[in-house]
Chain A
Amino acid sequence: MIEIQNVSRRYGSVQALTNVSLKVEQGSVLGLLGQNGAGKTTLLNILTGYLAPTEGRVLIDGCDPLLEPAQAKRYLGYLPEHPPLYDEMTVREYLMFAAELKGVEKRAIRAHVDEVMELTGLTAMRSRMLGHLSKGYRQRAGMAQALCGDPDVLVLDEPTVGLDPMQITEIRGLIRTLGKGRTIVFSSHILSEVQQLCDHVVILDSGVIRLDAPLQSVGEKDEITLLVTIAAAESSIVSKLRQLDGVRRVTVQPTAHVDQTTALVTFYRQNEPERRLFGLLSNLGMPLLHLSRVEDTLEQVFMNAVSGGGKTR
């Protein structure tokens, strides 16, 4: 659906993107993660044909937005970093303008705009001037504009930035709904957001792709780690833990109490490692003080990718 081929971009002497290649499948939701200045906005601007790459090219449905703008952009909706709003227009006028730009049929425009306003919760604001809207509603209007023309490809640059928690939940819900059947690329620096919404994640760091992986595989490796605290001396329990079926390794953590043991117990991927551990401890008659799963969160993966440098999985 979307192909980014060896794209590099320089702003004068600043190298914003270096040899970025990406493929986004039809119907998938791709989260673009990166720190400030990583080049997310630049990449999305190039993807939508607003900027040209210094090297490389972009194909949307096989069309280069620079060479065949009409075909490539026909089914494209873009919410830029700053919503492109005309302050002197009302919400409704603006959306009608956007819908017409996107090539929605004249007869269908009214109904279409009403639908989009309903979807983004703008109906009550329909006759307000865009310049008088609050930040959150401006963001919504930007979102509504991107939805005009019912695009197959949605490109959203930090869609939830500046919204209150309620609105964030709403917009995320919207993205999830829209994600069914559409191709969505969105950037964010909120990791949990990407985790909730995406089925593919790309981490960009200083203009280079550090990670490009389906989300299931990120953080869900072939092992599960439990953090346990047991009311027993280290010497009496650690060897028993090591012998437990399915345990890969045990790392003892330092504790303040002699009669307690805290350890990270890593199991091979299997069902209910907690049950095994609990079974063992009840057999031994040792009280369990704490038990939790240590998830290899996207956060850790992100930190590793950004600080580790160079490695791509």
Chain B
Amino acid sequence: MNIIYKRDLLAYFRTPVGYVFMGVFLTLSGLIFYLYNLQNLSGDLLTFLSQLTLLVMLLCPLLTMRLICEERQKRTDQLILTSPVALGSVVTGKYLAAATVMLLTILLTNVYTLIIALCGRVYMGEWFVGYLGFSLQSLAFLALDLFVTCFAKNQMTGAIAAFGANFLLWMADLLADHLPVAWMSECLNFVSLYERYEPFRLGQLSYSGILFFVSFIACCLVAATRVMDARRFSEGGAA
């Protein structure tokens, strides 16, 4: 797991992907910060973070698309999958590499926290809850995207499918409101990442939210491992 993690992390910064992701994320979040906080003279950190969700949804597929699809396209998976490394640790290692880039980027958005702190006040508790919730939500999107890209052979297809999935889960609660069948809308509400993030956005520490995000991530990784395993039977490897 450690080996895979190290290599994938290296790959993010050997290729433009890592820099592009961080660059675009930080630039756009800066823009949002300028428009929302600076223009309105607002010190509201939580709303600022919640507005970054859209960015996460858009950019997560960029991080995950290469993890599995690129390996398959370039057939480097033939090295990994014929080595004595368990599939589960391959998936986990890859996820952790992407998660590291993501968390690093989120950490860097604290530049804006600093600006708020300089001009106004930042409450530590609020900061902690806001960032915890936001990070968890981002990591959940990342895990979901990793799972979705497992189905794709092509990086582009993977990225687009992942983006679709992100959007679907984010909107699940909106959809739920319009479903006539009660259990279905309950299900949708349950998986809605937006709903789960809501308490954090309001500055409440939600243990059920933490539990949900963590188990959501675990489920995605296990499912991704299963899909990878099944591909040996169904597919012809890289084509």
Contacts and interface: CB of A to CB of B under 8 A. Distances in A.
Nearest to B3: A100
B15 interface: yes
Contacts of B82: 48-50, 65, 73, 76, 78
A85 B80 CA distance: 11
Interface string B1-14: 00100010011001
A86 B74 CA distance: 8
Given A89-B10, A89-B14, A101-B3, A50 B84 contact: no
Interface range, A side: 35 or more
Contact of B86 (A65, A70, A71, A100): A70
A62 interface: no
A103 interface: yes
A45 interface: yes
B227 interface: no
Given A50-B232, A51-B237, A145-B79, A69 B86 contact: yes
Interface residues of B, number: 24
Interface in B113-162: none
A42 B3 CA distance: 28
Contacts, number: 81
B87 to A, nearest CB: 8
Contact of A70 (B76, B84, B233, B236): B84
User: Which one of A11, A51, A73, A103 has the highest number of Cβ atoms from chain B below 10 Å of its Cβ?
Assistant: A51
Contacts of B86: 69-70
Interface string B57-89: 000000000000000001111111111111100
A66 B85 contact: no
Contact of A78 (B10, B14, B78): B78
Nearest to B11: A88
Contacts of B75: 80, 82, 84
Contact of A88 (B14, B83, B233, B237): B14
Contacts of B11: 86, 88-89
A88 to B, nearest CB: 4
A52 B81 CA distance: 12
Nearest to B85: A101
A52 B14 contact: no
B230 to A, nearest CB: 9
A86 B10 CA distance: 11
Contacts of B85: 101
B76 A73 contact: no
A76 B79 CA distance: 11
B233 to A, nearest CB: 4
A76 B81 CA distance: 12
B77 A84 contact: yes
A98 interface: yes
Contacts of A268: none
B237 A102 contact: no
B79 A84 contact: yes
Given A69-B84, A89-B10, A101 B232 contact: no
A74 B236 CA distance: 24
Contacts of A11: 236
Contacts of A102: 83-84
Contacts of B78: 45, 50, 78, 80, 82, 84
Nearest to A75: B84
Contacts of B74: 84-87
Contact of A86 (B3, B7, B87): B7
B10 A73 contact: no
B15 A88 contact: yes
A76 B83 CA distance: 8
B84 A66 contact: no
A48 B233 CA distance: 14
Given A51-B237, A84-B75, A74 B7 contact: no
20 contacts: A45-B78, A48-B82, A49-B232, A50-B77, A50-B78, A51-B236, A52-B232, A65-B82, A66-B232, A69-B86, A71-B84, A76-B84, A84-B74, A85-B76, A86-B76, A89-B7, A89-B14, A101-B79, A103-B84, A145-B79
In the complex, the 8 A-B pairs of residues with the closest C-beta atoms, listed nearest first: A88-B14, A84-B79, A52-B232, A101-B83, A73-B84, A84-B76, A80-B78, A48-B82
